[in-house]
Structure 1
Amino acid sequence: MRLLSLCAPALAVAAALGLSTGARAANLGAANAFNGFVFGNLTSHGQDTEGRLAVGGNFTASSYGVGSGGVGPAVPITNPRTDVLVVGGNMNAQGGWQVFNGNAVWGTSLTAAPTTTNGITYQGNPVNFAAAQADLTAKSAAWGALATNASVVFDGYSTLTLTATNAGLNVFNVSESVWEATSNKQIVNSFPNATLLINIAGSDVTQFGGMSYNGSSSPSNNHAGVLFNYPTATTVQTNNIAMLGSLLAPNAALTINGGGINGVGVAASALQQSGGEFHNFTFGGDIPYTPIVPEPGTCVLAGVGLAAIAAKRRAAK
């Protein structure tokens, strides 16, 4: 109570500015509008991204496609046209490939432009990658610290069964050793609107084998509420496995080595090879997120800073 009273002026100013100061339901922010979202560089040898793709660094690919659908739906044609591919650095569409049903946007330089179907190629910066990276890194860390409240059963050999027990948020915490040892990963959910947060610990994570959702590996988007979170990983590799949900690895170099991600894929950098793809499915879950509350001694400074922002905004009008 004393912390709240000391911070009340700062919190009041923040609320007036429309800034978040408490727990709220949250998803993947700016990344939620895309199928693949990479803060740094993306390199691909063939393959595709079935939905929209955002790359904050350089994007180099050959024989590639963006937005055409496949396992998931194609990007719809809109008017005005959607920015289907956004690259913050250099765009190099070497060898020729296509962006379907919208625009291709390059940031700092253009080595080779893709063919655009129902769209154009232009220079711009429609995505704030730095802000998205800060947001998703903080969320990944906070969500990774949540306690398990659902059923995690490892048979000691090859099968891991994760069963939702709540109609709202279900949290599963799985060690790197168990995750990597299991070739049969079963996700069971009988709640239609539940969110399943699967936190995988470890720094270098490899996943392989089969994955099922409610006993079926069907690619239909009934797994929209599933999020695989790797808050401490620096490398994540998928080997010929269909990840039935979205993937959040904000600090990791992601390698999709065969198989695919059936959801939103977020990583620090990425390499696609051997048929590894981003399949166009969304993330529909909601996970509470509480930004860090300042210590009492910093509240006065925070209030002064926020008041200065408010005054500057008023002066600019």
Structure 2
Amino acid sequence: MWPDEGRGMEMANLRVKFGGMEMRNPIGVAALNPAIAYARTPTIQADWLMRHVEAGAGYVYISATRLRRSSPAEANPALKWLKIQCPGFADRESLFTTGDISATQFYLDKTLEVMSIIKKKLPKDVPIIAQPHVAGADIKEWVTLCKMLEQAGADGLELNVACPISLVGYEATDPAVKLIEEVNTLEMRTLRKLGLTPSMGEIPEVLAPITKACVDAVKIPVGVKPSAEAGFPKCVALAKLAADAGAKWVTNITSPISVAPPRIYENGKTPWNIVHFPINPFAGVSGPNNRYHCYKDTVTIALFVPEIDICAVGGLVNPEHCVEVL
């Protein structure tokens, strides 16, 4: 315990070492979603992160970043958001997100600018975790991006291979499939016939070599954020493979995918028409329900792969949830 002069009370010592990084406490904050138009401005992102640091955040995440230095997607983010309420249960049960995957990414120029702003202001015990996100399984591209983010001042790297919006892809357009083609399992052969593929974050044969290459390429700690669609017990296998490849932590969970409930009293009309979207697509789901999925992955990985640290996200919407998962 030590005195907090600003609040006139004794504060608990919450310092931790996570993934090889010293943190003043284990509660951190992620960046604003770049799909929100104003969040594309680096100064706004930096101000958002620093306000949370001033409020006590123990670490900060930089938004998932693509290697491309700029993209037409930056000018017109194309995501749709849908709030789902459940009378008698909660004010907001879920938040569905769908649209252009490129709209959820920061591109390299913007990320480097955000990092240059906050790196000068952060306390030494508040690390920056950057999120490389390559649109495919090109190991060289993953390594290149990791090195650039390390040189920019990141204290840790989290390989973002989890985004549910890119869960499926076609061989003619999805570069991830080039490596995935080499995975000759019954599941993969069946999916290829349908023109589908899981995300890289749930394919052990793809995730493990990418993780090892990135770990070997940099001197800072590397973590992995697998797909929420992996489920149990595959989440345990992915965590073990990540640990064996040198990763210091795994993060669970990002948004799983689902379909928003149709309006059953309006002949099954899509709820998305409120945002001028004529169909009811697969979408990433956020909200308090996700915390049980997060707890499942957290507990099972902690039990079976104790050698790797765990960053818990997903469904944690109040302070009590954070204490529960800890």
**TM class by smaller structure:** under 0.3
Q: Which has the higher helix share?
A: 2
The structure with the largest alpha-carbon Rg is 1
Q: Which has the higher strand share?
A: 1
Higher relative contact order (CA 8 A, sep 6+): 1
Q: TM-score, normalised on structure 1?
A: 0.25
